């Protein structure tokens, strides 16, 4: 009886300790910057450094400059964008020709990529590799490329030559799509790259100056082009193009008026959103023409993202001091909150 009485309490304690540990492991946070919003701030052009702001999911906490705070060093100039793998964030500093790789949840630095880049713009992961668009020397229209990043040792292991001005990049399965905005000029192409062979397999013609892309649930690629601006002396209309990714052919296109230059294409709950002047519009995926249905009016965004029924828009202000991020409820069209972020907030991401 004594042995049995001693063993049974110990067994209960052991089970309790084991369950408690299991619960602690399940509830253990991934890092200080999980479950929130990241804003990439370009920083002052030609001097200073870009930064990254973290905002908690409930919008109650704002931490500016989290890379510097975590690693005691600057990101570089200009912070163009952030791309992600499952556990890492690739922070692209355009003017500094550098990509800082961090743990996306703790922001602790893992590596810096400096060799093999030339005016880097955007990063995407596809088929176990990283792909980064590069403008090259903007005075040379023949040196643009997509850099291939080895995600084990964080080096550029190859390049794919492309036409002028590769910008936004998006992946579907083993294919990467690159929108050629045209760098400081204008272009109207989308490159299709096979990531198994790392070869350019097709070049599609879309509207002038394609600025943003989205994939719908059916696998269609939607590309929004702003058209050539008036100052070029050859102003052209914006165009929304639908690409069948099964055939990599243009399936449909919708043309705006010549003086209408839309941007910031988003997709949320099966509805496309875009910005045109000071107004946000929505577009049905099944529509046979432009809906031009107004969502918000009287706004001024540097960039915008729509996610889970909310619209997040940034304002760069005077481009020299801290900007703002304003969050809107799309159902009520009311402002939820306005938050102070870094200088020239150009990217919004959900971590």
Q: What is the pLDDT of residue 28?
A: 55
Classify the C-alpha dihedral 134-90-92-176 as positive or negative.
positive
Q: What's the pLDDT band for 182 if we cut at 50, 70, 90? A: very high
| pLDDT(23) > 90 | no
CA dihedral 116, 121, 125, 128 (to 10 degrees): -10
Give the span between the Cα atoms of 287 and 114, in whole angstroms.
45
Give the span between the Cα atoms of 117 and 147, in whole angstroms.
7
Give the tens place of pLDDT for each residue, 38-79.
999 999 987 899 999 999 999 999 999 999 999 999 999 999
Q: What's the pLDDT band for 29 if we cut at 50, 70, 90? A: low
Give the span between the Cα atoms of 12 and 303, in whole angstroms.
57
Residue found by looking up tokens 């919003």 in the block: 37
Query: pTM value?
Result: 0.91
Domains of the chain: 76-205 (2.130.10.10), 216-305+329-336 (no CATH)
**How many CB atoms are closer than 10 A to CB 127?**
14
Q: How far apart are the first and last CA of the chain?
A: 56
Give the tens place of pLDDT for each residue, 193-241.
999 999 999 999 999 999 999 999 999 999 999 999 999 999 999 999 9
Coil, strand or helix at 66: helix
Per-residue CA distances from 211 to 132, 167, 239 (Å): 16, 8, 11
Give the tens place of pLDDT for each residue, 86-129.
999 999 999 999 999 999 999 999 999 999 999 999 999 999 99
Beta bridge partners of 245: none
Closest CA to 55 of 36, 69, 68: 36
Mean pLDDT, range 130-153, rounded to an integer:
96
Distance of alpha carbon 187 from the chain centroid: 21
């Amino acid at each position: 009886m004594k042995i049995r009485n001693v063993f049974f309490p110990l067994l209960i304690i052991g089970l309790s300790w084991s369950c408690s540990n299991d619960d602690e492991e399940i509830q253990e946070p991934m890092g200080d910057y999980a479950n929130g919003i990241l804003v990439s701030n370009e920083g002052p052009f030609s001097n200073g450094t870009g930064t990254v702001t973290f905002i908690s999911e409930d919008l109650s906490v704002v931490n500016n400059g989290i890379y510097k705070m975590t690693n005691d060093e600057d990101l570089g100039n200009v912070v163009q964008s952030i791309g992600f793998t499952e556990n890492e964030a690739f922070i692209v500093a355009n003017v500094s020709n550098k990509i800082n790789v961090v743990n996306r949840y703790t922001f602790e630095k893992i590596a810096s990529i400096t060799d093999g880049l030339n005016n880097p713009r955007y990063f995407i992961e596809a088929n176990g590799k990283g792909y980064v668009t590069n403008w090259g020397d903007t005075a040379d229209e023949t040196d643009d490329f997509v850099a291939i990043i080895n995600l084990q040792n964080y080096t550029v292991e190859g390049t794919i030559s492309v036409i002028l001005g590769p910008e936004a990049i998006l992946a579907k399965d083993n294919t990467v799509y690159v929108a050629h905005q045209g760098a400081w000029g204008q272009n109207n192409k989308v490159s299709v790259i096979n990531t198994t062979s790392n070869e350019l397999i097709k070049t599609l013609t879309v509207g002038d100056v394609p600025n943003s892309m989205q994939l719908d649930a059916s696998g269609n690629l939607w590309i929004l082009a702003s058209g050539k601006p008036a100052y070029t002396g050859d102003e052209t209309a914006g165009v929304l193009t639908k690409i069948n990714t099964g055939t990599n052919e243009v399936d449909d296109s919708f043309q705006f008026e010549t003086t209408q230059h839309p941007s910031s294409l988003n997709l949320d709950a099966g509805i496309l959103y875009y910005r045109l002047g000071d107004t946000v519009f929505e577009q049905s995926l099944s529509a046979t023409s432009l809906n031009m249905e107004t969502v918000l009016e009287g706004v001024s965004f540097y960039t915008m993202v729509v996610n889970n029924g909310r619209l997040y828009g940034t304002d760069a202000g005077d481009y020299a001091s801290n900007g703002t991020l304003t969050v809107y409820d799309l159902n009520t069209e009311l402002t939820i909150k306005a938050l102070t972020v870094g200088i020239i907030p150009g990217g919004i991401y959900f971590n």
